[in-house]
Amino acid sequence: MTAAIVGWAHTPFGKFDTETVESLVVRVAREAMEHAGVGPKDIDEIYLGHFNAGFSEQDFTASLVLQADDNLRFKPTVRVENACGTGSAAVHQAVKAIQAKAGKIVLVVGVEQMTTTPGPQVGKNLLRASYLKEDGETKAGFAGVFGKIAHAYFERHGEQFDALAQIAAKNHKNGVDNPYAQMRKDFGFDFCRNESEKNPYVAGPLKRTDCSLVSDGAAAVIIADGETARTMKRAVGFRGMAHVQDFLPMSKRDILKFEGCTEAWRRALDQASLKIDDLSLVETHDCFTIAELIEYEAMGLTPEGQGKRALDEGWVYKDGKLPVNPSGGLKAKGHPVGATGVSMHALCAMQLTGEAGGIQIPGATTAGIFNMGGAAVANYVSVLERQR
Give every CB contact of residue 23 below 8 A, 6+ residues apart in sequence.
none
CA dihedral 341, 383, 221, 45 (to 10 degrees): -100
Return the C-alpha torsion angle 313, 316, 318, 321, nearest 10. Answer: 70
> Strand 206-207 to strand 201-203: parallel, antiparallel, or no bridges (unpaired)?
antiparallel
Antiparallel, parallel or unpaired: β 366-373 and 378-386: antiparallel
- The beta strand positions in 226-289, using DSSP E, are 236-245, 281-283
- Residue in 262, 197, 222 with CA at minimum distance from that of residue 10: 222
Residues 248 and 382 sit within 8 Å (Cβ to Cβ): no
**CATH number of this structure's domain 3-117+214-229, picked from the four choices 3.50.50.60, 3.30.70.60, 3.40.47.10, 3.40.190.10:** 3.40.47.10
pLDDT of residue 388: 86
CA–CA distance, 48 with 28 (Å, rounded to integer) = 12
Q: Cα(129)–Cα(142) distance, rounded to whole angstroms?
A: 8
The pLDDT score that the predictor gives to residue 349 is: 98
pLDDT of residue 173: 98
Name residue 294's beta-bridge partners: none
The CA distance from 175 to 330, in Å, is: 10
Spell 314-340 as b/e; 16+ CB within 10 A means b. Answer: ebbbbeeebbbbbbbbbbbbbbbbbbb
Task: List the chain pLDDT tens, one digit each, 388 residues.
Answer: 799 999 999 999 999 999 999 999 999 999 999 999 999 999 999 999 999 999 999 999 999 999 999 999 999 999 999 999 999 999 999 999 999 999 999 999 999 999 999 999 999 999 999 999 999 999 999 999 999 999 999 999 999 999 999 999 999 999 999 999 999 999 999 999 999 999 999 999 999 999 999 999 999 999 999 999 999 999 999 999 999 999 999 999 999 999 999 999 999 999 999 999 999 999 999 999 999 999 999 999 999 999 999 999 999 999 999 999 999 999 999 999 999 999 999 999 999 999 999 999 999 999 999 999 999 999 999 999 999 8
In this structure, the strands spanning 236-245 and 216-225 are unpaired
Instruction: Give the pLDDT score at 231.
Output: 96
Q: What element of type H or E holds 206?
A: strand 206-207
CB contact at 8 A, 101 and 70:
no
User: DSSP code of 201?
Assistant: E
Q: What is the pTM of this model?
A: 0.98
On whether the CB atoms of residues 111 and 25 are closer than 8 A, the answer is yes
**Rounded distance between C-alpha atoms, residue 79 and residue 119, angstroms:** 26
pLDDT score at 136: 95
Contact between 344 and 338 under an 8 Å Cβ cutoff? The reply is no
- Write the CA distances from 291 to 4, 78, 141, 242, integer angstroms: 29, 30, 16, 19
Q: Which of 154, 158, 166 is nearest to 209 (CA)?
A: 166
CA dist list (Å): 192 to 82, 181, 305, 318: 31, 18, 21, 19
Question: What are the residue ranges spanned by the domains of the chain?
Answer: 3-117+214-229
* Per-residue confidence (pLDDT) for residue 351, from 0 to 100: 98
